[in-house]
Amino acid sequence: MMIDVDCAFLVYEPLRQRREDNSFDGNDNIGAKVIIDTLTRSGIRVGYVTPESAHTVPLVLVSLTSTYDIYAYYSAVALRPEWQPESRRFKVLIGGFGMQNPTPIRRYCDYAAFGRAHEWVVGIVRTLLDGGSPTHPSIMDCREFNQVVISQGALYAHEVEGFVEEFTGCPLKCKFCHYTYAREHKGSDASYSNGGVYSQSMLTGGGSPEVTWPQLLTWPKKAGRVRVAIDGTSERLRYLYGKRISNDDIVAGINQMGSYGPNATTLMVYNICNFPGETDTDLKEFVDTVSRANPKFRVIFVLQSTPFRPSLATPMQWEGVALHPDWSKRRASVILDRPNLRVVHSFTLETPWSHLRSVVAERATQDDDAAIHAICFSPKLASERADRALALFSRNWSPVRWTAELDIDGPSPAPFLSGYLADDTLRKIAHKMRRQRDSGVIPGKRTVKIVAVDPAE
C-alpha cells in the first residue's frame, strides 16, 4: 500500500540517525534537509521510508554523507529481494557529499547525482515521478556510467531549521581535500570560520567553532573548545600538500589560545597521517614544535589523526596509500604534559582495516563486487578484531589492488568523474607535487613572530 507522499528519503543504518517517525535526527544530514526543503517548496510531497518500507513509494531518495555510507547503504538493502534490479518496482536516486563512486552500489540505485543539486533536483524528481529518464551533466544513469561533472551551485537562499548557508567550498586548496575540489569556494571571503549557524552545524555538529589555523594567531576571546586542522605533522608535509602552516604558526597559535583564562582551552586538532613520504622524523618534528609552546593559561591539544586516502577528483587521487603505521595504537597516548600544555592523541583513531575499507569504496571497480560483499556480510570479518580482519581479507584480496600509487598520466581511479577544474589542471598540480616531494623542495613559507608567554605572569 502506497503512503501519501510523492517520494521519500531512505533512513537506514545506523539506527541512531532515526527519529521515531524515521526522519533524520538533529543535525545529522543538513544536505538532505536542503533537498527536502527545495522539493517541498515546489509542491513535491516528501516523506521517509526504511529499507523495509521503500516499496510503498514510487521514488526513494538516498543521501550519502561520506564514503563509509556506501557500506551502510549496501548492508541495508543488498540482501532484500525487493531491492534487486530485476524485481525493484520503485526508482532510486542517490546523492550527497559521499557520492563519489557509485560502482559498489550500482545495482541498488537507478540514478546518481553528483555535487550540489538544489538548483536542478526538482526537474529530475518530476521526470522520475512521470516515468521518464532524467538527463543532466551531473546525473549518472547507473546502468551506463556516463560521464558526469560535480555540480556547483549558488548558496542556498532559504533558512532550513534555523540554518543559514554563508559560504561553501574552501579557498585553501589543500591537495588532498575532496571538499575543496568538489565545491568551488563561494560566499564569505572573511574566513572559513563557522560564523553562520548553517556552517556551524555542517562542520562541527553545532558545538564549538571550527576555524583555520591562521585565525588562531589573532583569536580575540576566551573559548572553551575550538576545532582546527594542521593536516601534517611536519612543516615539510604541510607545505608540500597545501596546508601552509609553519612550525612557528603552530607555536604562536597555541600561545594565543592560551592567552585567555583562567580555565583551560581545548584545541581539537584534525590531522592527516600516513601521507605519501611521511616518516618518523615528521612526527618527531611535531613533538619538538609543540614543546616550544608556552601558553599563559592551560591548553589541551588533542591530535585527531585520520590516515590519508586519495580522494577522487583531487590532485592526490593518483597517490599511493600507506595502511601502516597503525595510528590507532596511539589512542589517548600522551605526547606532552606540562601544567600549561597537554598534548595527547585522540581516543578515536582509525585502524588500518577501517582505512582500507574507505579506500576500497573510493577506488572500487566492477571487478570488486565480491570484496564489497565480503566487507559488508562476511561473519568472519565482522567477528574479528580489526588487525585480524585485515589479515583475513588480505588472504583473498591483496590491498595493493586499491592502495598502489597510480600513473598521473594514466586513467584516474574514477574516469567518469570531473570536478570544476579540468583534469589536465589536476594532473599538472599532481606532477608538480611529486617533483617537489622527490627533490625535497618545500614551497615557500611565511613566518610569524613567536610570543613566549610566562605562565607565572
Q: Is residue 287 part of a domain?
A: yes
Q: What is the mean pLDDT of the chain?
A: 89
Q: Which of 129, 149, 169 is the endpoint of a domain?
A: 149
Percent of the residues in the chain that have a pLDDT greater than 70, as a whole number: 89
pLDDT of residue 229: 95
Classify residue 271: in a domain, yes or no. Answer: yes
pTM, full prediction: 0.90
pLDDT of residue 269: 97
Residue finishing a domain among 105, 129, 149: 149
Grid cell 612543516 is found at 235
Same domain membership, residue 251 and residue 119 = no
16 found inside a domain: yes
- Asked whether residue 134 falls in the same domain as residue 15, the answer is yes
* Residues 142 and 246 placed together within one structural domain of the fold: no
Is 223 in the same domain as 83?
no
What is the DSSP secondary-structure string of 85-149?
TTT--SEEEEESTT-S--GGGGGG-SEEE-B--TTTHHHHHHHHHTT-----TTEEETTT---EE
Closest CA to 120 of 162, 159, 148: 148
Residue 362 lies in a domain: no
Query: Do residues 107 and 32 both lie within one domain?
Result: yes
Residue 207's pLDDT is 56
C-alpha distances in angstroms, 103 versus 153, 315, 409?
Answer: 25, 21, 23
Of 195-204, 339-348, 434-443, give the lowest mean pLDDT range.
195-204
Same domain, 12 and 134: yes
Strand partners, 141: 111
In angstroms, rounded to a whole number, what is the distance separating the alpha carbons of residues 79 and 77? 6
Inform me whether the pLDDT recorded for 199 exceeds 60. Answer: no
pLDDT at 8 > cutoff 50? yes
Q: Do residue 286 and residue 432 come from a single domain?
A: yes
Residues 116 and 215 both lie in one domain: no
Residue 104 lies in a domain: yes
Residue 162 has what pLDDT?
Answer: 79
Is 453 part of any domain?
no
Q: What SS3 state is found at 304?
A: strand
Q: 242 and 346: one domain?
A: yes
Could you tell me if residue 68 is inside a domain? yes
Residue 49: HSE in the Cβ half-sphere, 13 Å Cα cutoff: 26
Which of 106, 126, 149 is at the close of a domain?
149
- Residue 105: CATH number of its domain: 3.40.50.280
Assigned domain for 299 exists: yes
- Which domain, by its residues, includes 322? 206-350+422-439
Provide the domain count of the chain: 2
What pLDDT shows up at residue 445?
58
